Amino acid sequence: MSKSYSVAILGATGAVGTELLELLESRNFPVSNLKLLASQRSVGRTLSFKGENLPIEAVSDRAFEGVDIVLASAGGSTSKTWAATAVEKGAVVIDNSSAFRMKKEVPLIVPEVNPQAAANHQGIIANPNCTTILMTVALWPLHQVKPVQRIVAATYQSASGAGAKAMAEVKTQASAILQGQTPVAEVLPYPLAFNLFPHNSPLNDEGYCEEEMKMVNETRKIFGTEQIRITATCVRVPVLRAHSEALNIEFETPFSPDEAREILSRSPGVKLVEDWRANYFPMPIEATGQDEVLVGRIRQDISHPCGLELWLCGDQIRKGAALNAVQIAELLVEKNLLRPAIAYAPSKKI
């Protein structure tokens, strides 16, 4: 990566935005110029990058001029407003929102799983949902050996999934409870400290919430098959950062836990964490700040001869969002894929 690139972070002041900034520096991404974009209310602030204090700029048409890569983490409505403009100006947008994930012409990429999909982008690449990223990193290596037939997922999602304000709210609520006061919920619908509740995203007619359906639909798109049967129950838990998932996986034929363990121990993006004697397995407190998805407690499903159970934890802000986006940018640079394979048409609905 000898060439350097002009990069913009859209939503630079949020939890994912600040993580993107740190990762660009720590991974030595070849940045020639860095723009930090946010709403007007953040103008005047600065953030540090490689020892320099960079100003926050208000997002505008002109802000994308000369930019090669936009790392967007400002929410779906913002992405829908500005992504097309950025592409028209010549940038490739790597978007962390759900705005474009299920668009047929927009690749949905986890670099450890389907990097080849990046070659077909038209200027926008979608970053999957955090729970989907963590799950697919762990399951793809197994799926390559014996195809997955069915997944039953239960997620335990930290406050970080709702942003920095939700993380701060949990701390405030915990302090209030410990002082005998009534906790106040403003960011999340209910108090999360010392509590948990099913994910509060909108429900469909079948009773599945939006977050659960993201896992279903996004996993099928990333794996390139509609045949995998997937069901999920997503729960918000009183953990500050890093999500956990309990997965029951059914394969075509029996899959021994030892074979799965051996495969995952050498799989990219995965760290095997198991000490059966100590009953020690992945924990969100240890996944926090880590690039890898921690996987363990791999065992035979005693109810099905072709089933395996496993437990995983992964940093929602890092691999579940910012790191995956930066890895996509690295992939584009490495494979010389910054220019779309198909010319972008402004009139085309995306």
Tell whether residue 101 is among the known ligand binding residues: yes
| Residues composing the chain | 350
H/E stretch holding 167 reads: helix 164-178
* Residue of 130, 199, 234, 313 marked catalytic: 130
Tell whether residue 42 is among the known ligand binding residues: yes
Tell whether residue 175 is among the known ligand binding residues: no
* Residue of 143, 234, 243, 313 marked catalytic: 243
Distance between CA atoms of 196 and 258, rounded to whole angstroms? 34
Distance between CA atoms of 235 and 219, rounded to whole angstroms? 18
* Contact between 257 and 174 (Cβ < 8 Å): no
Tell whether residue 41 is among the known ligand binding residues: yes
Tell whether residue 334 is among the known ligand binding residues: no
Distance between CA atoms of 163 and 151, rounded to whole angstroms? 28
Is residue 209 annotated as part of the catalytic site, yes or no?
Answer: no
CA distances from 208 to 115, 201, 214, 231, 233 (A): 30, 9, 10, 9, 8
Tell whether residue 316 is among the known ligand binding residues: yes
CA distances from 53 to 21, 36, 42, 47, 204 (A): 12, 11, 14, 5, 45
Tell whether residue 241 is among the known ligand binding residues: no
Tell whether residue 261 is among the known ligand binding residues: no
Closest by Cα among 16, 12, 94 to 338: 94
Rg of the chain (C-alpha set): 20
H/E stretch holding 152 reads: strand 148-157
How far from the centroid of its chain's Cα atoms is residue 327's Cα?
A: 11
State the binding site. 13-16, 41-42, 101, 157, 160-161, 210, 236, 316
Binding residues for phosphate are: 101
Binding-site annotation: residue ranges for NADP(+): 13-16, 41-42, 160-161, 316
Active-site positions read: 130, 243
